[in-house]
Amino acid sequence: MTVLLGDCLEQLQNIPEESVDLIYLDPPFFTQRKQKLKTRDNSKEYSFDDSWESIEDYKQFIKDRLEACKKVLKKTGSIFLHCDKSASHYLRVALDEVFGMNNFQSEIIWTYKRWSNSKKGLLNNHQNIYFYSKSKSFKFNTIYTDYSATTNIDQILQERVRDENSKSRYKVDENGQVVLGKEKKGVPLSDVWNIPFLNPKAKERTGYPTQKPILLLEQIIKIVTDEGDTVLDPFCGSGTTLVAADLLGRNYIGIDTSEDAIELTKERLNNPIKTSSHLLEKGEKEYLTKDETELAILNSLNALPVQRNKGIDGFLREYYKEKPVPIKIQKPNETFEEALDSLLFASQKRSCVLKVLIKTKHEDNLLDFITQEQPDENLIVIDSYDLIIKNWIKSHGNVEEFVTQ
């Protein structure tokens, strides 16, 4: 949990060897020009020099720092080097030399849509991130994504065999029925990541040049570290990596040569803002957080979600007796009674008539309540789909039969 000022080449000497699980580097690019950017209110200008004598100089500069990085990286650790098109090939040669060709794991393509002034040629809509591990036994957490829309999931569930020509065939039993295989987990994450470029208007924007979206960093951190692991960013800039590490419960170390950057980083760490990108909310499931379940329930009711309200999660689009109809979904850490009380309290304040409570948890001592009279005749209590299924299974004996493998 440190942020250090200085050249990482020197600062890395003070970090214990083999103590870091992930290093993410976003070094200055070889663009041969000065990067400048002002804060929104023009009060401050950040800048740093991106110019080098030659591409060989640049490569050596990076290589020296990569060597220092390798020292502090654990045997099971990984390094991610973020490049742009100008010099990605030279940087990768440097990585090959320091970490070894065999430890190359992936070239991650970060793609985004960007409105940019048209030049002759193709629009530049991606950047490259090279993923190397320190050894063969590197830590990796597979993230599973949904199947493609073109995939016949029904068929995915079928078991297969190989025939005499070693061609794969779907297995059928003696009656010609398909045979189903084990549970499937989904499709492992690809090396092409479609994550929106930081919107210039987004709150996340700090005004520091080359800032990367938190989502990109979160994904990297998730796949190669666990909670409590240590993340290092030797060119931390505005501190996106550290903010992401912090949000995910990882320890972090940041280094930068610029006092401005260090100051800004510390500020951001005190007050992290994550952009909730519209695109991500709609499309990409892998970023869904816990309360997405809630949102899904509200969506299936075609209800308007409400934020920051203890007793009400949403309202139906229709009114009943000229009053809005509030909906409350029981939270995992809430008893039924607590949920009910907070709904009734909130509804009364707004003088709503009809109210809906979605029950998501089974509670034995509730049997009393259900057989009793309803405490409010204009209350609808609905068991969630999930709960109904769980209850059915429970009442049919073996709950153990119903397991995620």
Partner DNA sequence: AGGGAGCGTGAATCTGTTC
Partner DNA sequence: CGAACAGATTCACGCTCCC
Q: What angle do CA 199, 202, 205 make, to 5 degrees?
A: 95
From the list its own copies, DNA, none, which binds 276 (C-beta under 5 to 8 Å, kind-based)? DNA
Q: How far is CA 100 from CA 21, 85, 93, 104, 133, in A?
A: 18, 22, 10, 7, 9
**d(Cα 310, Cα 84) in Å, to the nearest integer?**
46
Q: What does 3 bind: DNA, its own copies, none (CB cut-off 5 to 8 Å by kind)?
A: none
DSSP bridge pairs for 170: 160
Task: Please state the closest distance from residue 71 (CB atom) to its own copies, in A.
Answer: 24
DSSP for 41-106? TSS-EEEE----S-HHHHHHHHHHHHHHHHHHEEEEEEEEEEE-TTTHHHHHHHHHHHH-GGGEEE
The correct pick among 51, 159, 276, 319 for binding its own copies (CB under 8 A) is 319
Q: Give dist(CA 2, CA 33) in Å, integer.
A: 30
Encoded amino acid at 383, one letter: D
Nearest approach, Cβ of residue 260 and its own copies (Å): 17
Q: Which does 122 bind (CB under 5 to 8 A by kind): its own copies, DNA, none?
A: its own copies
Least distance to DNA from the beta carbon of 124, Å? Answer: 5
Q: Between 92 and 262, whose beta carbon lies closer to its own copies?
A: 92
Give the nearer residue to DNA in terms of CB position, either 149 or 367: 149
SS3 label, residue 158 = strand
Place of tokens 């009380």: 341
Choose the contact partner of 367 out of its own copies, DNA, none; CB within 5 to 8 A by kind: none
Instruction: Determine how many CB atoms are found less than 10 A away from the CB of residue 276.
Output: 13
The residue (of 249 and 283) whose beta carbon lies closer to DNA is 283
Query: Of 277-296, which residues contact DNA (CB under 7 A)?
Result: 277-280, 289
- Using CB under 8 A as the binding rule, the residues of this chain from 206 to 265 that contact its own copies are 223
Q: Which is nearer to DNA, 89 or 350 (CB)?
A: 350
Give the phi and the psi of residue 301 in degrees, each rounded to 5. Answer: -95, 0
- Shortest distance, position 361 Cβ to DNA, whole Å: 20
- The torsion defined by the Cα of 344, 347, 353 and 355, in degrees rounded to 10, comes to -60
CA distance 202 to 193: 20
Q: Which is nearer to its own copies, 60 or 302 (CB)?
A: 302
Report what 405 binds from DNA, its own copies, none; CB cut-off 5-8 Å by kind: its own copies
Can you give the C-alpha Rg of the chain in angstroms? Answer: 27
Site for its own copies in 278-317 (CB under 8 A): 278-279, 282-284, 287-288, 292-293, 296-297, 299-302, 304, 306-309, 312, 315-317
Q: Which of 2, 14, 309, 374 binds DNA (CB under 7 A)?
A: 309
Q: Which residues bind DNA (CB under 7 A)?
A: 37-38, 40, 112-121, 124, 147-148, 150-152, 154-156, 160-162, 166-170, 178, 181-182, 184-187, 196-197, 199-205, 209, 275-280, 289, 308-311, 346
